[in-house]
């Protein structure tokens, strides 16, 4: 089995992992490697084609793909080694990870490991909604991948479940895919995005906003035919062929858990000290692995700060593997 050693190994080439890697190199850390399980580095913004990225970190307003290309190019220019199609699967010890890569299995030992594995939206299975398993069910992330990266047929009419910022992305993506948003529903009595946004969107895109409304059942055998919903004891069916579950994030903490790292009960993120460090280990968590969910720009800014502290400690010699 191939084995190697680096100063810092980062798991996840999203905005957080890339921003941290760039800062580490800028601060003079020699060997910085990022591993990314997808074929392309960049994280979620790669398939998030609407503008809205880069305000706090780059002082620009970019689309997701432009934003992720900026970070990937900058990381490569600064000498960061990025290994795509490479998944960190397990731990040998707190400083050594096993990687599954196109050439086989590899072991990498690092003085510091940064976990930047992000978060994902809670899908249908995790929400335990009744009904069969017809096609036509997405999260915003999977909808964007199917629409923008794979150019797949999505459907004709959709219900969006959730009213977070990301739910508005779902409206835009559905529009791009030629799907009419019929309704947006949310169990809470108030929406969870910026003031006025759902009202403006509902007027622009002509859908109904049902607050305090619960999804009871998904209808359809092969393909979704409708969604049964309820509010204040009254049930009705919205006829659609597509459902998008949005928001309600879960940190991608699988790898952290496999390493015996304690997970916070409420947020399901790894438990860290104030500096995002796993107590008594040279392991740090950055980006949306640390819930609550943040925009990509916040993740990048925070990751940069943590990376700067780590670089100082490496130079002082206070981090030894
Ligand atoms: C639909 C949608 C729209 C959004 N719109 C905006 C917006 O307009 N503006 C904004 O600022 N933010 C937006 N966001 C939020 C933004 O995308 C996230 O805040 C940001 O991507 C988080 O960065 P991250 O690096 O923490 O995680 P991610 O971008 O999720 O990157 C994590 C990476 O880790 C990789 N990974 C996970 N586990 C492993 C493993 N074991 N081995 C190897 N690789 C692994 C994943 O493949 C992924 O590429 C949006 C999010 C979504 C889903």
Q: 33 and 76 in one domain?
A: yes
pLDDT of residue 127: 87
**How far are the Cα atoms of 30, 62, 96, 97, 268 from residue 108, in angstroms, in the given order?**
15, 35, 5, 5, 26
245, 278, 298 - which closes a domain? 245
pLDDT digit string, tens, across residues 98-124: 999 999 999 999 999 999 999 999 998
Q: 140 and 45 in one domain?
A: no
What is the domain extent for residue 71?
2-120+249-316
Q: Which residues of 159-186 are buried (b: 16+ CB within 10 A; e: fewer)?
A: bbbbbbbbbbbbbbbbeebebebbbbbb
CATH code of 15's domain:
3.50.50.60
In the chain, DSSP finds a helix count (H) and a strand count (E) of 9, 20
Q: Is residue 321 part of a domain?
A: no
245, 262, 293 - which closes a domain? 245
Low-confidence ranges of the chain (pLDDT < 70): 320-321
Q: Is residue 143 part of a domain?
A: yes
Retrieve residue 132's tokens: 């069969």
pLDDT of residue 160: 97
Q: Which residues line the pocket of ligand 1, CB cutoff 6 A? A: 11-17, 35-38, 43-45, 48, 52-53, 87-88, 116-118, 140-141, 144, 166, 169, 252, 255, 287-288, 294-297, 299
Q: 111 and 6 in one domain?
A: yes
From ligand 1's centre to the CA of 30, what distance in Å?
A: 26
CB-based contact 225:239 (threshold 8 Å) = yes
DSSP letter at 233 equals: T
pLDDT of residue 229: 97
User: Angle, to 10 degrees, between the axis of helix 197-205 and the axis of helix 165-176?
Assistant: 20
227, 245, 263 - which closes a domain? 245
pLDDT of residue 226: 97
Report the domain count for the chain: 2
Q: 239 and 139 in one domain?
A: yes
User: Angle, to 10 degrees, between the axis of helix 15-26 and the axis of helix 296-316?
Assistant: 30
CB-based contact 36:252 (threshold 8 Å) = no
pLDDT of residue 192: 81
pLDDT of residue 321: 46
């Amino acid at each position: 089995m191939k084995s190697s050693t680096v100063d810092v190994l980062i798991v996840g080439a999203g905005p957080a992992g890339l921003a941290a890697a760039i800062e580490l190199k800028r601060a003079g850390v020699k060997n910085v490697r990022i591993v990314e399980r997808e074929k392309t580095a960049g994280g979620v913004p790669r398939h998030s084609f609407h503008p809205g990225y880069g305000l706090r970190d780059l002082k620009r307003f970019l689309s997701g793909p432009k934003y992720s290309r900026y970070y990937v190019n900058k990381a490569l220019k600064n000498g960061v080694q990025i290994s795509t199609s490479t998944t960190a699967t397990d731990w040998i010890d707190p400083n050594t990870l096993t990687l599954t890569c196109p050439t086989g299995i590899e072991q990498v030992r690092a003085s510091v490991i940064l976990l930047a594995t992000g978060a994902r939206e809670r899908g249908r299975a995790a929400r335990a909604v009744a009904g069969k398993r017809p096609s036509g069910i997405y999260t915003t992330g999977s909808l964007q991948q199917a629409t923008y990266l794979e150019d797949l047929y999505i459907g004709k009419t959709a219900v969006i479940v959730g009213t977070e910022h990301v739910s508005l992305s779902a409206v835009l993506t559905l529009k791009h895919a030629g799907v009419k948003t019929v309704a947006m529903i949310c169990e809470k009595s108030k929406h969870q995005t910026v003031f006025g946004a759902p009202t403006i969107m509902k007027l622009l895109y002509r859908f109904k906003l049902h607050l305090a409304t619960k999804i009871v059942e998904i209808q359809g055998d092969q393909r979704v035919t409708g969604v049964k919903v309820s509010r204040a004891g009254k049930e009705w069916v919205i006829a659609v062929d597509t459902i998008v579950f949005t928001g309600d994030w879960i940190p991608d903490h699988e790898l952290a858990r496999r390493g015996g790292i304690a997970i916070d009960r409420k947020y399901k993120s790894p438990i860290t000290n104030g500096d995002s460090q796993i107590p008594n280990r040279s392991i740090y968590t950055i980006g949306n692995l640390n819930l609550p969910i943040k925009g990509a720009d916040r993740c990048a800014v925070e990751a940069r700060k943590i990376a700067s502290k780590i670089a100082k400690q490496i130079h002082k010699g206070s981090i030894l593997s």
